Structure 1
Amino acid sequence: MDMVSDIEELVTCESPSTDLAAVAASADVVARVGTRLVGAEPERIVVDGRTHLRWRFGDGPARVLVLGHHDTVWPLGTLATHPFDVTGGVMRGPGCFDMKAGVVMAFHAIARLADRAGVTLLITGDEEIGSPSSRALIEAEARGCVAALVLEASADGGALKTERKGGSWYTVRAHGLAAHAGLEPERGVNATVELAQQILAVNELGDDALGTTVTPTLLSAGTTTNTVPALGEVAVDVRARTVAEQERVDAAMKELTPVLDGAKLEVLGGPNRPPLETTASADLFARASTLAAELGLPPLTSTAVGGGSDGNFTAGMGIPTLDGLGAVGGGAHADDEHVLVSELPGRTDLVAALIADLLEGTAK
C-alpha cells in the first residue's frame, strides 16, 4: 500500500519537538511527501526556530482547516530500539500513531478531492510541547472557517474525540530564607514547608463530579541537606472540561497566599489550551456518522479524553471542530505505539468525504 511507504518515510525521519534541527529536517521530508501527493509545495513558516508547513488551495477564502503535526515525543535514536515495522497488519515505529500516519492520511484525503479550493492544510512542528510557536498561526488559519478537522490519532477502538479537556500549567514558587539547619534553623523560613502547605491547598481544587483534575507534579526545593531551603517550586497540571471550570481554578491558583511568616509566593503560568467541548463537535460528528454509513464503514463511536490537541485552540475560537480523525491503533507516547494498517483506507475515505461535504455545503 502506497500509504504505508509514505508513512515509513515520515517515521524514519525522527522529529523530537525540542530538537529544532530534527524538526526542520522532518519538515523537509513532510514537504516532499506532501508535494508529491497533492501536487503543490507548502509554505515553510519558521517561528522561534520551529518549522511549520501550510498548504492553501484555491484563491478564495479558507473554509475547511485540516490540522496535524509532525513533531513527536521520541528522542533521537529511538529508531534503533523501535524500528519501523509492519508485521501481521500492525505498523510500529516512533510517532507512527501520534501522528505521522494522520499527516499522510491528510495528504491522501486531499489528493482525492476533485476541487480543493477552500481547503487549508496546516502541519505544525511543536504540538507535543503545547504549540508555543504555532498557536497564533493555527488561530489565524482557523478564523472564518466553517470547520477544523484534526487528524490526531483516534481513541480506543477508533473512536473520534468529540471532547477534550482544556489544560492549564502552573509553577508555584516559594521564597523563604536560608539558615543552618543544625545551628539555627529557627532563623530560616523553610520554603519546603511552605510548599507542602501549598501543595495540600492545590490538591483540594479539583472537582471529581465535574471532571476537573488539579495535580501537583514536579517538585524541587533546597540546595544542601543541612540548609533551611530558601527556594522551592512545584509544577501543577490542571485539566477541565469547561471554560468555567478552567477559569475557576485559575482564579483560585492566583489567590494562593503564603502560610509561613516571612515566606513569599509566586504563581506563574495559566491556561494553555481551552477545552474542546461537545458543543463544538456534535454537528460534525453527526455529519461524519452519516458519511461513514454511506461509505459502508462501521458505525462511528465517540469519546471524551483528558489530553489536549491543537483542536482545543480552534474550538476555543468557536470553530466547529472534530478530532481523532487520524489513525486507528494505540500506544501513543508508549513503547507499544502502533497503527492498524487495515483501517487506513476507510478512515482516509471518511476524511476525504467529510472535507468534500463541508466544501459543498459552503458553496450552496
Structure 2
Amino acid sequence: MPIYLYWGDDDFTLMQAVERLQESVLDPSWASFNFDRILSDQQNSIMMALNQAMTPPFGLGGRLVWLVDTSLFQQCPTEIYQELERTLPAIPDTTTLLLTGSNKPDGRLKSTTLLKQYIDKSKGELREFSRIKPWETDKLEEQVKVLAIERGVKLSRDGINLLAELVGNDTRQLYNELEKLKLFAGETHQPLSLQQISLLVQSNTQNSLKLAGCLKTGQTSKALELLTDLLQHNEPGLKIVATLVSQFRTWLWIKLMMETGVKDKQEIAKTAEIGNPNRVFFLQKEVQTLTLKQLQRSLPLLLELEADLKAGAEERSTLQTYIIELCRLFQQ
C-alpha cells in the first residue's frame, strides 16, 4: 500500500512524476479498470478515494488512486481523520494512493503526521515540486545543464547561462525549448552557438526581472516596451506581477538592513530569504541609489496592481498605468 504525496507549484514536473508513477503501477491493458482520478471539488472526494483504494485491482498490475489538488494537508475534519486512521492500515498492498496539492503540507496537523508515518512504512514518497526562484541563477543554470544532458542537447557553459536567462524558472518552456534545440541541432556534435539559441528561444521570465530593473531606475519608455514584449509572448499579467513583487520585496529587505547597519551577509541572506549569501553584495549595489521610502511605497502599489488584476481589470491598460506610476515614483 505505497502512499505518495506530491506538492508544489511546478505543475509540469509534478505531472511528469505522476505519469512515471502510472507507468510503474498500472498494466497498460488494465489501466482503464485500475486507475481512479478523483478531483478535490467532488463531493466526499476523500471518502471516495479511500473507498476506491480498498478495491483490489482487476486483471494484471496494481491499482492507482489519485486524489487531485486535495486540501487534506491544510485542513482535516475530525470525521475524516478518524476514517484515515481506520482505512489506511487496511488498504491492500496492490493499491498505490497518490495525493497531490499546490501548498506545502501543514506539519502541525494530525492528518499530515499520520500520512507521513504511512509514507515511511509503505516506502512511498513525499516530494516537493516547487519552481526555482527567478533570481537563483546558479540553480536555474544547474537545472538547464541536467535537463540538456538528459535530452542530448549539447550546450557550452555560456549556452547554459543564456538558456537559463531566457527561460527562467518555467520548466515547461525549458523542456519545449530543449526539444526544439535538439531538432535544430540534428546530428551535429558541436555545442549550439549563442546566436542560434537567441534566435530559437523566446524570453519571458528574465524580461520580468529586466522590467523590475527599469522600474527602479524610472525608465518609463523601456519598461513599457518590455511589458509589451512580455504580453505579446502570452506571459500572464499575474505572473509578471508575482516576479516584480518578489524582486521589490528582496530589494526592500536589503535596503532596510543596510539602513539599520546590518553587515553580516549570512544574516542578511537568511532574513531576505536569499539562497546564496554571495548575491547580497550585488543586491546592495542595486539598491544603493534608492531610498527606503521609495521601496516602501512600491510594494503597496504592486499589491494594488495584483488585486486589480484578480478583480478582473483589463490587463494591458492596468499594467501600463501602474508601471508609469512606479517609474514616476523612482524618478523622484
Q: Which TM class, normalised by the smaller chain length?
A: under 0.3
| Higher RCO (Cα < 8 Å, 6 or more apart) | 1
Higher helix share: 2
Higher strand share: 1
Q: Normalising by structure 1, what TM-score? A: 0.21
